[in-house]
Chains A and B, each alone.
Chain A
Amino acid sequence: MDILTGALRAGFSVDAAYFCLAAIGLNVQFGYAGLINFGQAGFLAVGAYGFAVGSVWLGLPFFTAIGLGLLCSVALGLVLGLPTLRLRADYLAIATIAAAEVLRLFFGAAFQDVFHGRDGISGFSAAFQAANPFHQPFLGYRPADLWVMTVGWGLVVIVSVFVWSIMRGPWGRVLKAIREDEDAVRSLGKNVYAFKMQALAIGGLIGALGGFIVALGQNSVQPDNFSFDLTFIVCTMLVLGGAARIMGPIVGAVAFWACLSLVSGILGALTEGRDPVIPAWLMTADQIGTVRFVLVGVALVVLMIYRPQGIFGDRKEMALHA
């Protein structure tokens, strides 16, 4: 039972909330517009660092620092998009991968008095926690976490409604059309480049919101929060939930974290004690962290084969890609 409640708790944790925001952002870019962004971690990073540097180093008030973080993510979108979005799709993919890694290394090594290297920046969430209405632990979550979770999942709801509202109408229609055939869209008088730029920026902005949740959730930002693993997991969640669906990234994120926790719980139970079910020569308890990701990888492959459209996708629609 503990394993199940643990899985449920993980599914709605702070981590799940920020991964979910990152996945919603990626859904706008990749799911709807077909832009291959392999650097979502970079958008979270500039959001989080923009906010943290603004708060700590510049001493800005909370919402001004948030604004700075959002501004940074839009700037990153422009820097990546302006030169690459006129080119073939793969150029954006390469640029985003590289940018995310460069940013992580940059934050870890450059301007030590601003970014504080690998230790990262901390001590900026006092104002945020001062507004915390929760004082008692609830369902085993600490009050501080409860507050971040409330804000995080609140943002998930607000952002999802926003994404739904722009995707149901003409703007979203152009985006979905671009995903299919850019030249057809151009021939009808639509400025494809501008639409792609907007999609990239909006996805980046939503990613930056995830970055804020990272920062507030652990009261610090470190370069290693934004490694390529993050991007990879976000992609996995989106595929799991179903791209180009409003509920896709949400269900994907919750299901992913719940499954991950479930797998570690089960593996933990199987490897614990004097005489574990899984023999020690095969696997020990301290390998759970790695093995669960191996199993996730296997599950992803199986998913791609038997349900490529994800939980929410439409198989018929996949088949139409003629």
Chain B
Amino acid sequence: MPERTPAAARSGPDPAVILRVENVERRFGGFTAVDVDHLAIRRGEITALIGPNGAGKTTLFNLLTGFDRPDAGRWTFDGRPLAGVPPHRVARLGMVRTFQLTKVLSRLTVLENMRIAAPGQLGERLWLAPFSLAWGRGEKENTARARALLARFLLDDKRDEPAGSLSGGQRKLLEMARALMVEPRMVMLDEPMAGVNPALKQSLLEHIVSLRDDGVSVLFVEHDMDMVHEISDHVVVMAQGRVIAEGTAREVTKDERVVTAYLGERFGGDLDDAAAAPGAGRGR
């Protein structure tokens, strides 16, 4: 396993783990959507979260980032307990998520969508807001950073268009770029590749890998097993709200329980048959 511990790493109980989840449970009425006993996401790695539709992946994201409250459970980010912490604090602590159903700010321009995400803006304080002298420079720097990111996501040409005029795939890209504007230590991407064309997907993958190389931990939800094989260091499989398997992409696709969860009892065989991926060998 590569020892990628970024400089920002603080000594916690286990410095190799950035996000630790314990006994988190969320019920909707009588239905248990999430019931995760134990889950540890390693720092500086790319972790894929997979599972059939309705497995509880998005609900887990919502819980961990403070958008929803669990009925029980604790979790820590970088050793800091996060239960009850509101979403904006979670983001400021460095854990930034994107949404499965994109949430771009339609009437703002693409560039404004990016700029708003920059952290620590002086101009967001009401008493400084009227004085561009106070925030003009920060704004310039943020704009430069935003344009660089937009260029990497092939959106720089669109920067002055309202975000509402973007296509579905472009919105996914914008949302991911915008999450990076926050300067996160961990990003949680909910199906970042859904609806993105294959050529661009490849560059997105490279981008996610480069994120890891910058020391950012990545947790992403993805249905496409090729993608998962290609870039993930570790894979977590959820089904019916529970974590049913963990390991490398190879290991989990061979796992009996995973195959059953995906295909039902009727099919046997190996998930890898369906997803003989080009980068499948990239393990740890």
Contacts and interface: CB of A to CB of B under 8 A. Distances in A.
Given A169-B135, A173-B112, A187 B105 contact: no
A193 to B, nearest CB: 8
Contacts of A187: 65, 67, 87, 91, 96-99, 103, 179
Given A187-B91, A188-B91, A189-B182, A174 B124 contact: yes
A: contact size bracket = 20 to 34
Nearest to B125: A171
Nearest to A189: B91
Contacts of A317: 107, 162
Interface residues of B, number: 42
A322 B119 CA distance: 27
B32 interface: no
B91 A186 contact: yes
A162 interface: yes
A137 B139 CA distance: 50
B72 interface: no
B202 interface: no
Interface in B228-278: none
B130 A162 contact: yes
Contacts of B132: 165, 168-169
Which one of B88, B91, B92, B121 has the greatest number of beta carbons of chain A within 10 Å? Answer: B88
B124 to A, nearest CB: 5
B196 interface: no
Interface string B114-154: 01110101111110011110010001000000000000000
Interface of B: 65, 67, 86-89, 91-92, 96-99, 103-108, 112, 115-117, 119, 121-126, 129-132, 135, 139, 162, 164-165, 178-179, 181-182
Given A168-B132, A183-B103, 5 more contacts: A177-B108, A177-B116, A185-B105, A189-B182, A191-B86
Interface of A: 162, 165-166, 168-174, 176-177, 180-181, 183-192, 198, 202, 316-317, 320-322
